[in-house]
A and B are shown apart, each in its own frame.
Chain A
Amino acid sequence: MMHGTAPAPSVALAVEGVSYAYGTRRALADVTFSIAPATFAVLLGLNGAGKTTLFSLITRLYGTRYGQIRILGHDVAQTPGDALRLIGVVFQSRTLDLDLSVMQNLIYHAALHGIGRGEARKRAGELLHQIDLADRARDKVRNLSGGQMRRVEIARALLHRPRLLVLDEPTVGLDVQSRAAILDQMRRLVSREGVCVLWATHLIDEVSAGDDVIVLHHGRVLARGPVARVCEDAGASDIREAFARLTKISTADAPDEAA
Chain B
Amino acid sequence: MTIEVASGVDARFSPLQYAICLTGIVWREGLRFLHQRERFVSALVRPLVWLFIFAAGFRQVLGVSIIPPYDTYVLYEVYITPGLVAMIQLFNGMASSLSMVYDREMGNMRTLLVSPFPRWYLLSSKLIAGTAVSLLQVYAFLFIAWFWEIQPPPIGYLTVLPALVLTGLMLGALGMLISSVVRQLENFAGVMNFVIFPMFFASSALYPLWRVREGSPALYYVCQANPFTHATELIRFALYGQVNWISLAVVCACTAVFMIGAILAYDPSRGLLARRGDRGGAA
- Which A residues form the contact surface with B (CB < 8 A)? 6-9, 22-23, 25, 47, 52-53, 56, 59-63, 65, 70, 72-75, 77, 80-87, 89, 91-95, 97, 99-100, 104, 107-117, 163, 168
Contacts and interface: CB of A to CB of B under 8 A. Distances in A.
Nearest to B28: A108
Nearest to A9: B3
Given A7-B1, A7-B3, A61 B20 contact: no
A114 B106 contact: no
A95 B111 contact: yes
Contacts of A97: 28, 32, 108
Given A63-B274, A109-B111, A114-B14, 10 more contacts: A52-B282, A56-B279, A62-B268, A74-B5, A92-B282, A93-B107, A95-B106, A112-B115, A113-B116, A116-B20
B5 A73 contact: yes
Contacts of A95: 106-108, 110-111
Contacts of A104: 28, 31
Query: Most chain-B CB neighbours within 10 Å: which of A56, A70, A168?
Result: A56
Interface string B107-139: 110111111111000100000000000000000
Contacts of A74: 5, 7
A36 B262 CA distance: 38
B269 A99 contact: no
Contact of B25 (A65, A94, A111, A163): A111
B273 interface: yes
B23 A111 contact: yes
Given A9-B3, A99-B35, A100-B31, A63 B115 contact: no
A167 to B, nearest CB: 13
Contact of B3 (A73, A87, A100): A73
The 7 A-B pairs with the shortest beta carbon distances in the complex, nearest first, are: A111-B24, A93-B281, A114-B17, A95-B107, A63-B269, A73-B3, A112-B115
Interface string B11-47: 1111011101101110110011001100000000000
B9 interface: yes
B21 A52 contact: no
Contacts of B186: none
A232 B166 CA distance: 65
Nearest to A104: B31
B277 interface: yes
A80 B106 contact: no
Interface in B263-283: 267-271, 273-275, 277, 279-283
B55 to A, nearest CB: 35
Contact of B110 (A7, A84, A91, A117): A91
A52 B279 contact: yes
20 contacts: A7-B1, A9-B3, A22-B274, A52-B281, A59-B114, A62-B271, A65-B271, A73-B2, A80-B116, A82-B11, A89-B111, A92-B280, A94-B281, A95-B108, A97-B32, A100-B28, A114-B16, A114-B20, A115-B17, A115-B20
B71 interface: no
A248 to B, nearest CB: 23
B4 interface: yes
A63 B265 CA distance: 12
B27 A111 contact: yes
Contacts of A62: 268, 271, 273-274
A114 B274 contact: no
B273 A85 contact: no
Contact of B274 (A61, A86, A93, A163): A61
Given A62-B271, A95-B108, A100-B32, A85 B20 contact: no
A59 B138 CA distance: 38
A91 B115 contact: no
A92 B274 contact: no
B233 to A, nearest CB: 37
B3 A111 contact: no
A79 B218 CA distance: 51
Nearest to B23: A111
Contact of B114 (A60, A92, A163): A60
Contact of B117 (A73, A86, A114): A114
